[in-house]
Amino acid sequence: MAQQPAIRFRQAAVDDLAAILAIQDQAAAAPWSGRQWRDSLESHSVTLLDVNGTVAGYAVVASVLDERELLNIAVMPAQQGQGLGGILLDRCLAKDGTGAVRMLLEVRSGNQSAIALYRSRGFVKAGIRKGYYPAGAGREDAWVMVYEFQ
């Protein structure tokens, strides 16, 4: 019988930047600079998903009063499609559910797997930002999605 992976979460620190960038290099369509990551590590909640002792994903959540914003989430491509993104998002929603009213995010309108993930967790489309993202020679819309904490 296949062994269950050992899944752990922890808050990222500056020492984790190399592991974060290794995932970002492979997974992210619009990578953040080292400076953006350092600012995020100082100002926001950066949760790491560790599978069998190796960092497999990250999620960045900003808090402003009773609102949360999911600024970034990614899973190592080789480990995508196995439920890990859902586990990581569930963790963010559980952790940020104390006192928060809603969680917002922006996602490229063509990012099917991310939109499927957000919908599966109860996020709904709340608006469109036309041409928000650069995309090759053109622009791509952003969907604003919202999750209401009960």
Contact between 124 and ligand COA per CB under 6 A: no
Which position's Cβ is nearest ligand COA? 85
Q: Which residues fall within 8 angstroms of residue 144, CB to CB, at 6 or more apart?
A: 104, 105, 106, 125, 126, 127, 128, 129
Active site residue 106: yes
137 DSSP assignment: T
CA dihedral 114, 60, 80, 103 (to 10 degrees): -40
Q: Is 67 a catalytic residue?
A: no
For the bound state, the minimum distance from the C-beta of residue 130 to ligand COA, rounded and expressed in Å, comes to 17
34 binds ligand COA (CB under 6 A): no
Phi–psi pair at 147, nearest 5 degrees: -120, 125
In whole angstroms, how close is the CB of 105 to ligand COA at the nearest point?
6
Residue from 99, 101, 112, 124 touching ligand COA (CB under 6 A): that is: 112
Site for ligand COA in 68-97 (CB under 6 A): 73-75, 80-86
CB of 90 vs ligand COA, minimal distance in Å:
9
> Is 126:144 a contact under the CB 8 Å cutoff?
yes
